[in-house]
């Protein structure tokens, strides 16, 4: 005899799996830019894992947005440097940060506005940080070899996206969020940080400056905020 309870359980499991897959597809489709970017980073991370150490060094320096590469291939180096991470083992951490920051911003203000925010933050932070390196070399504070320093990663884009995300947080929680961001990116810079810390600070300020891109977009509706507003009315 056919076990009807087993058949029903199998059908329920299959239906639940289909619903889960549908929700996953909808989640990805709602932030396509974020997940395409994350996919490319996953591929480049696998390349680094599979490559020899000599090939690693070649790829990192070839795709860096350092002074040497900016002088030779400015557009290419600015673009491709944002698709590599120096430590592939941190990919899962970046995946979580992409979902928490990039995906939320992209869904909120749209793909093109999100992309504009991230691109401006990445480019501006890269150029400013490398200008700091160049000035330090000219002042003999850094060796000339720093023209070839490895400068890759997605953190500048994350900083700018985190900055613009502040405008989705309703008041008064927004101020706590902003203070947290300023401390997170500002303390390393004040404590004698590197050119990368300066780049993060620039990218964060770019994100804050992109407020016009958020006009007309709703903020999150937190329960405590709704209750306070009802009490004040």
- What per-residue confidence (pLDDT) applies to 193? 81
More confident residue, 176 or 229: 176
Q: Is residue 230 part of a domain?
A: no
Over the stretch 144-162, which tens digit does the pLDDT of each residue have?
999 999 898 899 999 999 9
Q: What is the mean pLDDT of the chain?
A: 87
- What per-residue confidence (pLDDT) applies to 23? 66
DSSP 169-229: SPTTHHHHHHHHHHHHHHHHHHTT--HHHHHHHHHHHHHHHTGGGGTTPPPP--HHHHHHH
47, 155: one domain: yes
Residue 106 has pLDDT above 80, yes or no: yes
DSSP three-state, residue 85: coil
For 199, the domain range is: 33-214
9, 99: one domain: no
106, 26: one domain: no
Q: Is residue 222 part of a domain?
A: no
Give the position of tokens 């404590």: 191
Over the stretch 24-61, which tens digit does the pLDDT of each residue have?
676 777 789 999 999 999 999 999 999 888 898 899 98
- What per-residue confidence (pLDDT) applies to 95? 94
- What per-residue confidence (pLDDT) applies to 231? 43
Over the stretch 131-145, which tens digit does the pLDDT of each residue have?
999 999 999 888 999
CB neighbours of residue 150 within 10 Å: 16
25, 37: one domain: no
Window from 8-12, 28-32, 109-113, 124-128 with minimum mean pLDDT: 8-12
Q: What is the mean pLDDT of residues 96-108?
A: 95
Q: Is residue 202 part of a domain?
A: yes
8, 61: one domain: no
Number of domains in the chain: 2
**What's the 3-state SS for 58-83?**
HHHHHCCCCHHHHHHCHHHHHHHHHH
Q: Is residue 46 part of a domain?
A: yes
In contact, 133 and 90? CB cutoff 8 Å: no
The structure tokens listed for 70 are 């900016």
Cα(101)–Cα(79) distance, integer angstroms:
20
Output the pTM of the full model.
0.85
């Amino acid at each position: 005899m056919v076990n009807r309870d087993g058949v029903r359980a199998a059908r329920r499991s299959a239906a639940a799996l289909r619903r889960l897959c549908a929700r996953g597809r909808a989640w990805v489709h709602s932030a396509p830019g974020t997940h395409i970017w994350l996919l490319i980073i996953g591929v480049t991370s696998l390349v680094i894992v599979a490559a020899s150490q000599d090939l690693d060094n070649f790829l990192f320096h070839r795709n860096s947005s350092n002074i040497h590469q900016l002088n030779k291939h400015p557009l290419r180096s600015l673009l491709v440097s944002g698709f590599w991470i120096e430590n592939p083992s941190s990919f899962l951490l970046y995946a979580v940060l992409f979902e928490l920051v990039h995906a939320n911003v992209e869904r909120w203000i749209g793909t093109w506005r999100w992309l504009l925010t991230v691109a401006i933050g990445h480019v501006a932070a890269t150029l400013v940080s490398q200008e700091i390196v160049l000035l330090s070399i000219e002042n003999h504070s850094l060796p000339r070899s720093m023209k070839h320093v490895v400068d890759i990663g997605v953190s500048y884009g994350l900083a700018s996206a985190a900055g613009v995300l502040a405008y989705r947080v309703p008041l008064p929680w927004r101020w706590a969020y902003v203070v947290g961001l300023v401390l997170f990116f500002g303390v390393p810079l004040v404590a004698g940080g590197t050119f990368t810390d300066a780049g993060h600070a620039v990218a964060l300020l770019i994100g804050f400056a992109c407020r016009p891109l958020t006009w007309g977009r709703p903020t999150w509706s937190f329960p405590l905020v709704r209750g306070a507003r009802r009490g004040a009315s």
